[in-house]
């Protein structure tokens, strides 16, 4: 068999596999838990370690960027080709807390290789998925004979993702010019399963609010006044009950305005995924599916906007009973948004709906938290096609498409950089993110390496002069 | 002016007024706070004091009855007339907690007479209203020349009313034979106002339950699963929203079954009360009236059954937000019941309604607490007519009729003794029950004395052979 570009990549990866895993294990030994103040020094060490390793990889620039919290790492490797597109890879080097007594079979910060899996906190989320980019770019250079990547390659690896990215927006606005890119590649997600490699095409946005209803000026006796004054706990329930119509559509006027509907092609592609409802329900720890009429479960969680109650409360909730009409009641609502929905418009629609729904005699307040915009890359976007093609070569099978129901800082990058966001993740649901015994499958990790080894050449070839 | 029976009573009361107030003050000095364990000895002392005073009043029998908690006092004075009806007076000798620093202008347990008002904890609730029976029966004897009351007079004065009467039902069941009566007179309520003396004809009953809805086996991520599984917080809200129809009627099938509707006469009598909605709303600390269509505010709180939310809760209620679908949610409901409604039937109706309303995929539990039956004495009941007549003589004006929206142990007496319950109270809303600076109006207190001085003779005359 003659040497093809792909076999050259594979040979390179095979030859460097042991050293790659050894290096990753070294990084995983640093307990960079951003949520725990006593690990602040470890998070700093993790950033320094990564910056050093990126320099060794060949990035001419690799810097630690301070924030008011934990530091991020930025690296840049220009292509040299004035027509090359610029790509920014996003990931994070901090990890979730982990302790042996949480149910880990081994020390979470002492990586263990077993049955072709690497067990350690951060193996999948997200150090493993950040790290495959280092060997990936080297394999790309080795297989193509280049001395610099075919794209202008930038990496931004934050240190506070597991703490809610409190300074991320500020960080990327501050460094907007340096991180400018034609596309963002997020390597902090997963794929459908080991046998079904997928590319995620978007995430839902998120608008969150608290609505408080105020009735009597204090809790009053339900015997003396019950039946004759408005009860804020009853009214908060009526408000929530009015959130959806009988078909499960969100009933807030204007909520769906501007929405990018699923295309027939996308619906067909989603329907091709080997979805097993029973297994999905087990993962959801739920006992039934329920939602908007006319949509499948995957469409409901990935591609439809929702209104969910995250919390409701008012009056007496302790043991036994208390015969009061409570003075106030609250509900915490979150709205998942899809492409085309505007955060400000949704907020105004919710405010108008609440004002129109709450009855006389009840005062209400609506407080919104800062929201997260949805992101979605069209199926025919050239960069998305490159990612799918590169992944298809690595996995040697067709790549299917998914979306993500959650929301994340990726949307901030899309927003600040005005660039499409693509998702390249090789983690699978059983990897145990945030759970004990987190692991990454070595075969998939190396498919990640291989995908990026093809991706930069594909992008440069098919998406020149992107800006 | 010649000596009428009424002027004889008034003369007697006037002559004994000073000693009566002095005795009452002595009793009020005993801080019989049943809710505070360090006052247990005071509650015991209060019972002993009352039993002693009832003996001095002339009751041949006056006993302290022990309970697993605070003691009650029972006294009995047979009429001697085999045709005389038997009346049991109910009241309580324990009081609410009180401390100078709560806002009292004077020591709550050092009675102060000021502007014809007696200020002290328990002055109105309930020592004053128990105590008017002592001078009342003496005035009755003095004015009629009798040596024993015209009715078989019994008093049961409990010591745990302010602690929720935990042993009352057991107490009255144990002593059922000794407290047997043709009618119960409850002197632990009030009247409309100083200028509008009233008799209460009934109290609402109370059924209380907690409904818990269980969705996913644990809180789950609203991004990953939102929009596709049933949310117990949303469903508890829908359940509560389904409690009432658009006219404010309780929408639980069978809820109104058996109800004794207000008669036209009762509605007319209630409408005659000088009701001022603005002032009522100030008392309710509420900003609007709201309730069942077709009924006035007074009818809604006194004579219509209700379904009220006393508490609702589920999911995250703290500061900020948490993107979860909660595992469970609960609501605490109380149903006020009116005459004709059956506690067991209401419980079954609520259970059936919940089972029919909660959707698939949500497990629910319904837990009822022991309920309180409603009580209502018909307007044409001979004992009620006697009370109204006696009160009319004392107040020298027509007596109007009210009801009470709350629920109380009176219903247990009605239940165990199978006797009608009548309410004879002279307290007014401004007396400050449970509040600082509780007081009783001396003029009204003496009208209570005078009412009972007429009542026993009137009852004996108009309601012979009652049993």
Q: Could you tell me if B178 and B74 are in contact, meaning their C-beta atoms sit under 8 angstroms apart? A: yes
Contact A312, A240 (CB under 8 A): yes
**Pair B390, B151: CB distance under 8 Å:** no
B105 and B158 share a domain?
Answer: yes
**pLDDT, tens only, B34-61:** 999 999 999 999 999 999 999 999 999 9
- pLDDT of B238 reads 98
Residue that finishes a domain, picked among A340, A368, A396: A368
Cα–Cα distance, B40 to B217 (Å, whole number) = 46
Asked if residue B449 and residue B350 are part of one domain, the reply reads no
Q: Are residues A453 and A323 in the same domain?
A: no
What is the 3-state composition of chain A as percent helix, strand, coil, each rounded to the nearest 5? 40, 20, 40
CB of B367 less than 8 A from some CB of A: no
For residue B467, pLDDT over 90 is answered with no
B316: nearest Cα among A102, A371, A333: A333
Alpha-carbon gap: A155 to the closest alpha carbon of chain B (Å): 27
Q: Chain A closest CA to B312's CA: distance in Å?
A: 5
pLDDT digits (tens, 9 = 90+) for B331-374: 999 999 999 999 999 999 999 999 999 999 999 999 999 899 99
Burial class (CB in 10 A: 0-12, 13-18, 19+), B115: exposed
Per-residue pLDDT for B121 more than 90?
yes
CB contact under 8 Å between A301 and B225, yes or no, is: yes
| Domain shared by B361 and B456, yes or no | no
- Please indicate if any CB of chain A lies within 8 Å of the CB of B359: yes
- Residue B256 contacts residue B305 (beta carbons within 8 Å): yes
Query: In this structure, are residues A186 and A387 in contact, taking their beta carbons and an 8 Å threshold?
Result: no
Chain A hits for B362, CB-CB cut-off 8 Å, are 287-288
Half-sphere exposure of B409 (CA within 13 A, CB side): 25
pLDDT in tens, A87-105: 999 999 999 999 999 899 9
Nearest to B284 among A229, A281, A336 (CB): A229
pLDDT for the residue B3: 61
> Is residue A148 included in any domain, yes or no?
yes
Instruction: Examine residue B123 and state whether it is found in any structural domain, yes or no.
Output: yes
Helix ranges restricted to H, A145-286: 168-174, 176-179, 222-225, 232-241, 264-272, 277-284
Within 264-293 of A, beta carbons closer than 8 Å to B belong to 281, 284-292
The CATH number linked to B318 is 3.30.70.360
Indicate the pLDDT class of residue A1, thresholds 50, 70 and 90. Answer: very low
Last residue of a domain, one of B328, B347, B368: B368
CA A365/CA B83 separation, integer angstroms: 66
pLDDT of residue B370: 87
| Arithmetic mean of pLDDT, B174-195 | 96
The Cα A174–Cα A181 span in angstroms is: 15
Residue A429, domain member (yes or no): yes
Do B384 and B432 belong together in one domain? yes
Q: Which long-range contacts (CB under 8 A, 24 or more apart) does B75-79 make?
A: B75/B51, B75/B154, B75/B155, B76/B152, B76/B153, B76/B154, B76/B155, B76/B178, B77/B137, B77/B148, B77/B149, B77/B152, B77/B153, B77/B154, B78/B148, B78/B152, B79/B148, B79/B149, B79/B150, B79/B151, B79/B152, B79/B153, B79/B460
pLDDT digits (tens, 9 = 90+) for A38-84: 999 999 999 999 999 999 999 999 999 999 999 999 999 999 999 99
- A39 inside domain: yes
Residues B227 and B331 in one domain: yes
Residue A407's pLDDT is: 87
Identify whether residues A71 and A172 lie together within a single domain. yes
Question: What is the reported pLDDT for B321?
Answer: 85
CA distance A143 to A140: 5
Looking at the structure, do residues B27 and B94 belong to the same domain, yes or no? yes
Tell me, yes or no, whether B84 and B37 share the same domain.
yes
Residues paired with A47 in a beta bridge: none
Model confidence over B274-311: pLDDT tens digits? 999 999 999 899 999 999 999 999 999 999 999 999 99
Q: Is the pLDDT of residue A4 over 80?
A: no
Q: Are the Cβ atoms of B405 and A242 closer than 8 angstroms?
A: no
* pLDDT for residue B426 is more than 80: yes
Closest residue on chain A to B248 (Cα): A227
Strand, coil or helix: B40: helix
Residue B268 lies inside a defined structural domain of this protein: no
b/e A268-292 (16+ beta carbons within 10 angstroms → b): ebbeebeeeeeebbeebbbbebbbb
Neighbour count for residue A415 (Cβ, 10 Å): 17
Q: Is B435 on the interface with A (CB under 8 A)?
A: no
Using alpha carbons, list the distances in angstroms from residue A441 to A90, A120, A136, A451: 21, 12, 17, 15
Q: Do B309 and A226 touch (CB under 8 A)?
A: no
Closest-CA residue of chain B to A336: B223
For residue A269, being part of any structural domain is answered with no
Q: Is B314 in the A-facing interface, judged by CB distances under 8 Å?
A: yes
Q: pLDDT digit string (tens) for A396-411?
A: 999 999 999 988 888 8
Is residue B89 within 8 A of residue B133, CB to CB? The reply is yes
Number of CB pairs, chain A paired with chain B, less than 8 A apart: 295
Give B-chain residues touching A246 at CB under 8 angstroms.
none
What contacts A65, CB < 8 A, 6 or more positions away?
A71, A72, A73, A74, A171, A175
**A95 and A82, same structural domain?**
yes
Could you report the per-residue pLDDT of B398-411, keeping only the tens digit for each? Answer: 999 999 998 888 88
Q: Within A418-466, where are the H helices? A: 442-462
Q: Helix %, strand %, coil % for chain B, to 5? A: 40, 20, 40
Q: How far apart are the first and last CA of chain B?
A: 40
Q: Which residues contact A465 (CB under 8 A, 6 or more apart)?
A: A83, A85
Instruction: Give the span between the Cα atoms of B398 and B196, in whole angstroms.
Output: 9
Are B212 and B364 in contact, with CB atoms under 8 Å apart? yes
What does R_g of chain A's alpha carbons equal in angstroms?
Answer: 25
Strands B421-423 and B183-186: parallel
Q: Which residue of B has its CA nearest to A238?
A: B241
A389 shares a domain with A420: yes
In a domain, B270, yes or no: no
Residues of chain B above pLDDT 70, percent:
99
CATH number of the domain encompassing residue A160:
3.40.630.10
Q: What is the pLDDT of residue A3?
A: 62
Is residue A283 in a domain?
Answer: no
Q: What angle do CA A27, A32, A38 make, to 5 degrees?
A: 140
Facing A215 at nearest CB: one of B286, B304, B310: B286
Give the count of domains, chain B: 2
Q: Which of residues 118-137 of B touch A (CB under 8 A)?
A: none
Characterize the bridge pairing of strands B375-376 and B183-186: unpaired
pLDDT at residue A266 is higher than 50: yes
Structure confidence by residue, pLDDT tens digits, A197-240 = 999 999 999 999 999 999 999 999 998 899 999 999 999 999 99
Round the average pLDDT of chain B to a whole number and report it. Answer: 95
pLDDT recorded at residue B1: 42
* Domain span including residue B346: 205-259+305-368
Q: Shortest Cα distance from A143 to chain B (angstroms)?
A: 39
Within this chain, do residues A250 and A117 fall inside the same structural domain, yes or no? no
Task: Write the CB contacts of B77 (distance below 8 Å, at least 6 apart in sequence).
Answer: B58, B59, B60, B61, B137, B148, B149, B152, B153, B154
Flag whether residue B310 sits within 8 Å of chain A, measured between CB atoms.
yes
Q: Do A233 and B336 touch (CB under 8 A)?
A: no
Instruction: Tell me which of B368, B389, B420 is where a domain ends.
Output: B368
Which of A184-193, A314-323, B120-129 shows the lowest per-residue confidence on average (mean pLDDT)?
A314-323
Mean confidence (pLDDT) of chain A: 95
Contact partners, residue B390, CB within 8 Å, separation at least 6: B451, B452, B454, B455, B458
In chain A the first and final C-alpha atoms are separated, in Å, by 40
């Amino acid at each position: 068999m003659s040497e093809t570009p792909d076999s050259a990549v594979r040979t390179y990866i095979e030859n460097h596999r042991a050293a790659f895993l050894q290096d990753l294990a070294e990084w995983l030994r640093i307990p960079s838990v951003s949520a725990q103040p006593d690990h602040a020094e470890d998070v700093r060490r993790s950033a320094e370690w990564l910056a050093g390793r990126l320099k060794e990889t060949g990035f001419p620039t690799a810097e630690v960027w301070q924030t008011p919290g934990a530091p991020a790492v930025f690296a840049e490797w220009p292509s040299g080709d004035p027509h090359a597109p610029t790509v920014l890879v996003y990931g994070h080097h901090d990890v979730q807390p982990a302790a042996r007594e949480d149910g880990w079979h081994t020390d979470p910060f002492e990586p263990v290789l077993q049955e072709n899996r690497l067990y350690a906190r951060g193996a999948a989320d997200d150090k493993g998925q950040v790290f495959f980019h280092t060997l990936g770019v080297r394999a790309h250079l080795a297989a193509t004979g280049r001395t610099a990547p075919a794209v202008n390659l930038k990496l931004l690896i934050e240190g506070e993702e597991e703490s809610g990215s409190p300074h991320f927006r500020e960080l990327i606005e501050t460094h907007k010019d340096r991180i400018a890119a034609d596309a963002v590649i997020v390597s902090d997600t997963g794929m459908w399963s080991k046998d079904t490699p997928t590319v995620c095409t978007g995430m839902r946005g998120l608008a969150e609010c608290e609505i408080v209803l105020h009735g009597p000026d204090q809790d009053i006796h339900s015997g003396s006044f019950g039946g004759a004054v408005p009860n804020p706990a009853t009214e908060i329930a009526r408000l929530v009950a009015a959130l959806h119509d009988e078909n499960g559509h969100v009933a807030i006027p204007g909520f769906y305005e501007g929405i990018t509907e699923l295309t027939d092609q996308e619906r067909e592609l989603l329907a091709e995924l080997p979805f097993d409802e029973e297994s999905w329900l087990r993962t959801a720890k739920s006992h039934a599916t329920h939602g908007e009429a006319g949509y499948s479960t995957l469409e409901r969680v990935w591609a439809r906007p929702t209104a969910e109650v995250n919390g409701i409360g008012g009056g007496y909730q302790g043991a036994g009973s208390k015969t009061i009409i409570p003075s106030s009641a609250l509900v915490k609502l979150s709205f998942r948004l899809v492409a085309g929905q505007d955060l400000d418009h949704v907020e105004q629609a919710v405010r108008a709906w609440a004002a129109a729904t709450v009855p006389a005699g009840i005062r209400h307040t609506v407080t919104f938290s800062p929201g997260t915009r949805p992101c979605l890359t069209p199926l025919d976007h050239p960069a998305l096609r490159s990612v799918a093609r590169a992944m298809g070569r690595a996995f040697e099978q067709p790549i299917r498409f998914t979306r993500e129901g959650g929301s994340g800082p990726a949307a901030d990058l899309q927003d600040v950089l005005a660039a499409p966001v693509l998702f390249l993740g090789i983690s699978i649901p059983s990897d145990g993110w945030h759970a004990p015994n987190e692991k990454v499958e070595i075969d998939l990790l190396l498919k990640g390496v291989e995908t990026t080894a093809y991706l930069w050449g594909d992008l440069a070839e098919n998406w020149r002069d992107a800006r």
